[in-house]
Amino acid sequence: MAMPEPAPGYSGPRYAQASDVNDAWLQRLLQCQQQGQLLPKKDAYLLVLDVIRQLKSEQTLGRIQVNPGQKLTVFGDIHGQYFDFMNMLSMTGMPSVNTPFLFNGDFVDRGSWSVEVITMIFAMKMQNPNAIFMNRGNHEMLEANMIYGFAGEVGSKYDLDLFNLYSESFRNLPLLHLVNNQVLVVHAGIPGPRPRVWLPGQTHDPEDAVPVNLQACTLAEIASVDRYTELTPNSYKDAVDDAPRKEEKWETDTRMIIDFLWSDPRGGSGYGPSYRKSRGVFMFGPDVSDQFVRENNLKLVIRSHEVKADGYLQDRPHAVSVFSAPNYLDTGGNKGAFLQLSPGPDGNLQVTPTSFTAVPHPDLPPMYHQNYIAENHPHLTRQMKKKQAPQPWKRVVCSELSGVHRPCSD
Ligand SMILES: [Mn+2]
């Protein structure tokens, strides 16, 4: 494929292969992107292609070992907030084998510098694949990227062929990482009810529950999930059991992927319907996470996916949430946080949270590039419009596009 060379005045780093990336290279990329300069298109393609190859060699359930003296930093949702991301890097320092990073999904969408965030993460990944780990979030997904800004941003800053390559990289992302066989890190939550019943008329009342499973899903079952997929608008409701039946392997996998990308904890016991998305997305009670942690000999589940006032929240003994996008959507008023895991004297991982507030960014609103798709590739949004057309009074789409849709969670 013939690719243009960068403009004559380009003074930033070049990427042709992984060995090009070193600490100085990353610092130059950080500064260039801060000043509005992007990695050249040709280089961006080569970087994403290398990341795809790397991710294909990784597992659905990745494993990380943190030895005494080493420290793993876990980041929650970043959502294209590049300036806050840079601020976090100034607090954590850059990744290394002794100070690895785990990005727990939702790197992109919403914020208007998703390209800068993902380029930085991917470049760090290629510098040292054993110092950077990533889990897929519900925004590393084609459907979400078409609606919440990333597709439009890549189209506007590069082109949509590169967006297709990003989507391919997202389909290859691991879904979870297990740290020292003690702490499981996943974007949203743990597996849902079996059978996957959706009670007619079940309310959000915490007393109204599908009971906890007889046995928790095992880590071996989770590790066997074929993660290479793209969820569609029908995936969620199609994953519900309307009548008891034998499920195929791909169905079992789809159900778990939905839970890993979309579920949330809830106050009541058992399982209940989520406020998100559609029929087929569940919330899990403290008894569910207790059972999961106990039967899998874990100490803790770390998840992200929800805004928290201090950027993190441990609201039950065996689960903690971390969210790294402060003042989310420029209106959240929340702090961001990251967690750092290091083995204590007893060998157990100690979790240390750091909260921080938002830093200033250039005057661009969230999802600034969203309209690029509607304006330049209207056929790509036809299906969405058709879906909405019979209900012109229903303004949900407008609020989604303007970024005020469900600001309390992601
Ligand atoms: Mn999320």
Listed residue (310, 289, 227, 285) closest to 261, CA to CA? 227
Q: Supply the pLDDT for residue 390.
A: 40
Q: Supply the pLDDT for residue 278.
A: 85
- Between the CA of 76 and the centroid of ligand 1 the distance, in Å, is 9
- Between the CA of 50 and the centroid of ligand 1 the distance, in Å, is 25
- Between the CA of 58 and the centroid of ligand 1 the distance, in Å, is 22
Q: Supply the pLDDT for residue 201.
A: 81
- Between the CA of 342 and the centroid of ligand 1 the distance, in Å, is 25
Q: Where are the alpha helices (DSSP H) in 174-248?
A: 219-223, 235-238
- Between the CA of 105 and the centroid of ligand 1 the distance, in Å, is 7
Query: With a cut of 50, which residues of the chain have pLDDT below it?
Result: 385-408
Listed residue (171, 176, 180) closest to 189, CA to CA? 176
| Active-site residue identified among 139, 305, 361, 369 | 139
All residues with CB under 5 Å from ion ligand 1 = 106, 137-138, 305, 410
- Between the CA of 41 and the centroid of ligand 1 the distance, in Å, is 28
- Between the CA of 158 and the centroid of ligand 1 the distance, in Å, is 25
Q: Supply the pLDDT for residue 134.
A: 98
Residues with Cβ within 8 Å of 184's Cβ and at least 6 positions away in sequence, in order, are 176, 177, 178, 190, 219, 296, 298, 300, 301, 302
Listed residue (131, 116, 155) closest to 66, CA to CA? 131
- Between the CA of 24 and the centroid of ligand 1 the distance, in Å, is 32
Listed residue (186, 142, 140) closest to 304, CA to CA? 186
Predicted TM-score (pTM) of this structure: 0.92
- Between the CA of 16 and the centroid of ligand 1 the distance, in Å, is 32
Q: pLDDT digit string (tens) for 356-385?
A: 999 999 999 999 998 888 888 888 775 554
**CATH numbers and ranges of domains, the chain:** 18-187+304-356 (3.60.21.10)
Q: Supply the pLDDT for residue 370.
A: 87
- Between the CA of 137 and the centroid of ligand 1 the distance, in Å, is 6
For residues 105 and 140, the answer to whether their CB atoms sit within 8 Å is yes
- Tell me whether residue 139 is one of the annotated catalytic residues: yes
Q: Supply the pLDDT for residue 1.
A: 58
